Copies of this chain bind each other. A is one copy, B any other.
């Protein structure tokens, strides 16, 4: 067992000769200040037991008492060493460390994403990061494996890695929470069942974020059904700004840009102003009315309206299914890329005239979309982590009718999870299975 000698029961007590200790730029505290172990956490918050049956509505769950946070955090291996960025010539100009929590950290999407975060590709070459990895009891060994691979990657910017299975520990002081973990749909399970089972997870994680995360944490929900999971999450985190919660529709946006580029015979960097409206489901609306190619409205470049109206959306939505057929696995790599894109869109200024899509909380939206749901809309950012909705969009009957359909679905999903948002009895009447092909 490679790491046996750093468990607390076998403390490493080696000390440096005094004549050597003074030569070190970074003092070696040998874990005086931080616990160093890879033990599984001792405590797990009790599972939330509820179902969507209206007669089994659950009482709101009280947030767990935030106990001594420092004690509960479990650092991993080489990331338990102390360091002083300001004392080192190479790192003294760096920004302050930021905490990034990732759930589903032992899964395939994370296996791509974590290395992108650690490399500096997302937050830049002078932004040191701490990764807080949330897994499950079942995945804990895999989580250790991921942390070991992060150790072996020697990323200078990756300064801390913690692993755990309790969101109240792992989300401590998180400035970003990337919520990827979700239960896959079991055999015969309908969207309503998935909403319930995953809704419980996101209710718990919302409460944990509310209790222990940074007061300005940005939350990106990837686990499906991501819009309504994000709604559940923000409803369970009343002390955090609802505006900070996002549901990932960036992969849909990227795929839509690619399909328009393919049809127009241009490179994909020529496609801009692409909005995904609504739900991350088959009711989603990739908007070809407002999108542009080389700055020109798509409909003037691609004059094949039949293709735009009948094939384009289907192509975007079927992409995941085609990929599973071809590759035998779901599209973890490009999903991770789209998460990177979504984060970077919030921390870098949006290019003039352009925008990006994100599933955000509808609170005073300028379009007339129902309030109090999480709906993908066009956003612009000054690069400070915040965003504004874009006003300069147009609608036609075709677009608006489709927006109303995805809105209706999200309102139905919301009724379906009322027991998880503290809004009374759940009532589930989802008419059809709208899961995107290739997603679980």
Contacts and interface: CB of A to CB of B under 8 A. Distances in A.
Nearest to A140: B326
A116 B113 CA distance: 11
14 contacts: A2-B322, A3-B262, A14-B302, A23-B296, A28-B266, A31-B265, A81-B267, A112-B333, A145-B326, A149-B323, A149-B331, A152-B334, A153-B254, A153-B337
Interface in A230-269: 251, 254-255, 257-258, 261-269
- SS class, residues of chain A in contact with chain B: helix
A266 B26 contact: yes
Given A3-B262, A119-B337, A148-B326, 9 more contacts: A14-B263, A14-B265, A14-B304, A20-B296, A26-B270, A78-B261, A145-B326, A151-B262, A153-B254
A155 B80 CA distance: 35
A77 to B, nearest CB: 6
A6 interface: yes
Interface in A307-352: 315, 318-319, 322-323, 325-328, 331, 333-334, 336-338, 341
A294 B152 contact: no
A144 interface: yes
A414 interface: no
A151, A154, A294, A322: residue with the most chain B Cβ atoms closer than 10 Å: A154
A3 to B, nearest CB: 8
Nearest to A331: B149
Contact of A318 (B2, B119, B300): B2
A67 interface: no
Interface string A125-151: 000000000000000011011101111
